[in-house]
Structure 1
């Protein structure tokens, strides 16, 4: 095990703050076997934002240029949390410098760049460099418990899956143009929040083999030019000039998975839904549903119940469920878990792998860049289905 690990985060926006906070807290969850974690730098071209984030989370400094991270031998671990189209250049430079990289999803805004990044990751792995992609929702105890219910047969043979991820950060026409509204078809709501539902669905239902019914819709065709930096989903001051939106506000598709079929629907213009991720899965012996609105509980229905009390029961998550015991200072039943906690567990899992802790003694590993490419190929198949007015499109084998 290394004596210490120097950590940096490239990107000081909303998700960047989540990564910075996660590294700060990673040593406080589960068994204290990590080497000392040194919080070295937060890099962002927005100097004021970068300095504020670095100070807020206890990092030693702010860098305006991400290349300073590449060149610093005191840094071994880096999260890349910037606009998707910037990922490739930064990640490839970090890997070439021998840095361990945790990249936010999706890997990039194009499948070509994602494939190139996976090639770079495989080459770096030969030198012991770890490259992983963050799929934070797979750390949710509720989703992990559904996986257990499927694996041990309590839900029976899977029949179908339904998932939706509705957000409203783009529902107002005065929300300024940003990188989120630029890029090719499928890089909007589908790439942003649909990518989360896609990997969750495959974790529960098996690998997707075919998609159909792809449909995109851009509800707000133009957005005002910002008069300053746009951070996260903030609005800020805007000018009178309107800029065309390039990608999707709404997307939906059907999928055939190894174990069942399902439907996914995502939106960034669903007024009144700031962060509504809900999923329900049905089997021959029961069903289960989970919502990010109440992530500390799960609803389960089993068909072996007596008819007069049959129906969904609410289960408060606790130490009896996966990914819970030891994961928080208070890990008692019903205390609850939130989305920020999932980033802590993700950072913890990544640091455990980098530190050389055996997989048998660690949290489940973060996903590989090859996994990231597969999920982008799934989204690309949805895009192709939309281009073909909903026709069925095969998903390349993982």
Structure 2
């Protein structure tokens, strides 16, 4: 195992800060002990934001140009957390330079670019260089526990999955135009939060086989142009000039999985839901549900309980559940787990793999770029279904 790992994050926005904070905390959770983690650079063209983020999270420096990272031999690991259309150029250059890359989802803004990135990742793997994508919710203890209930047969034959991911960051018409509102159908709410919901659905119900009933809707068709940089989902000064919104605010569809069928719904204009991922899975012997707003618990019902006790019971997550023990300094039941913790565990999993810690001693590995391509093919099938008035579309086998 290497003595130390130098880390950089490209992108200092909301998710970039989450990655930066995660690398800073990764050594404080779980066992075995990681190599020394050196926080080297935050790269962002917005120099004020980049410098502030670097100072805030203890990184040595800020680089205005991400290319400064390529030739820095002190940097081994890089998170790419910028607009989706920028991913390919940056990721391929980093892999060619021998840097291990953790890329935010979705992999790219086009399937062609995503497939090219996956090919670059396979070539890099032959040289011992890792390329992974961040699917943080797969390590949520509640979601992992429900997956165990499904795979163990405790819930019986899986009948159907019902999931939604509602957010409200775009519910105000004065939210400024940004890259999030540009791109073709499927790159809006579906590509943003639907990418999370879709991989969670497959994590629980198995590979998707086909989708149908796709429907997109854009509620706010124009947005004001910003006066300055747009960071994350923040609102700021805008001009009187507007630009057209090019993608969807809302998407819904049905799917058939390896185990059962399901309905999925996503929105970025659901007022009162800052970020609400929730799902329920129903089996022949019971059901289970998880809600991001209450991430420290799951609710479960099994039919072999006493009839007088039939109904959902709330289970407080604790060391008996996957991914909980050792994950925090205080890992007792009821302590809870939030999305920021999941970023820490994601960074930890990636660093463990880079450091050569055996998989048997590690957190579940991060997803591969091939997984990222599959997720985009899943979402592309939804977009095709919507374009064809809800037609049934087969998803390429994973």
Structure 1 vs Structure 2 CA RMSD: 0.6
Shift of 1:153: 1.3
TM-score (norm 2): 0.99
Give SS of 1:51's match: helix
Which residue matches 1:41? 41
Deviations 1:257-287 (A, max 9, x none): 0011001000000011101111000000000
* Aligned pairs (5 A) from 1:69-108: 69-108=69-108
Which residue matches 1:219? 219
Which residue matches 2:324? 324
Which residue matches 1:355? 355
Which whole-Å CA distance do the structure 2 matches of 1:371 and 1:152 have between them? Answer: 24
Query: Contact 2:213–2:385 (CA<8 Å) still a contact in 1?
Result: yes
* Aligned pairs (5 A) from 1:258-269: 258-269=258-269
Give SS of 1:52's match: helix
Query: Contact 1:30–1:326 (CA<8 Å) still a contact in 2?
Result: yes
Which residue matches 2:397? 397
Query: Contact 2:88–2:114 (CA<8 Å) still a contact in 1?
Result: yes
* Aligned pairs (5 A) from 1:1-398: 1-398=1-398
Query: Contact 1:109–1:184 (CA<8 Å) still a contact in 2?
Result: no
Which whole-Å CA distance do the structure 1 matches of 2:303 and 2:32 have between them? Answer: 42
Query: Contact 1:50–1:62 (CA<8 Å) still a contact in 2?
Result: yes
Query: Contact 2:32–2:361 (CA<8 Å) still a contact in 1?
Result: no
Which whole-Å CA distance do the structure 1 matches of 2:208 and 2:150 have between them? Answer: 17
Deviations 1:350-386 (A, max 9, x none): 0000001111111110000000000000000000000
Shift of 1:3: 1.2
Give structure 1 stretches of 5+ with no counterpart.
Answer: none
Query: Contact 1:289–1:299 (CA<8 Å) still a contact in 2?
Result: yes
Give SS of 1:279's match: strand
Shift of 1:32: 4.0
Which whole-Å CA distance do the structure 1 matches of 2:205 and 2:331 have between them? Answer: 29
Deviations 1:140-174 (A, max 9, x none): 00000001111221101000000000000000000
- Structure 1 segments (4+ residues) deviating >2 Å: none
Which whole-Å CA distance do the structure 2 matches of 1:82 and 1:367 have between them? Answer: 19
Which whole-Å CA distance do the structure 2 matches of 1:70 and 1:229 have between them? Answer: 25
Give SS of 2:175's match: coil
Which whole-Å CA distance do the structure 2 matches of 1:99 and 1:125 have between them? Answer: 11
Give SS of 1:71's match: coil
Which whole-Å CA distance do the structure 2 matches of 1:276 and 1:31 have between them? Answer: 31
Question: How many residue pairs are counted as aligned between the two chains?
Answer: 398
Deviations 1:181-218 (A, max 9, x none): 00111000000000000000001100001000011101
Which whole-Å CA distance do the structure 2 matches of 1:236 and 1:70 have between them? Answer: 33
Query: Contact 1:142–1:290 (CA<8 Å) still a contact in 2?
Result: yes
Which whole-Å CA distance do the structure 2 matches of 1:184 and 1:110 have between them? Answer: 10
Deviations 1:7-60 (A, max 9, x none): 000000000000000000000000142110000000000111000100000000
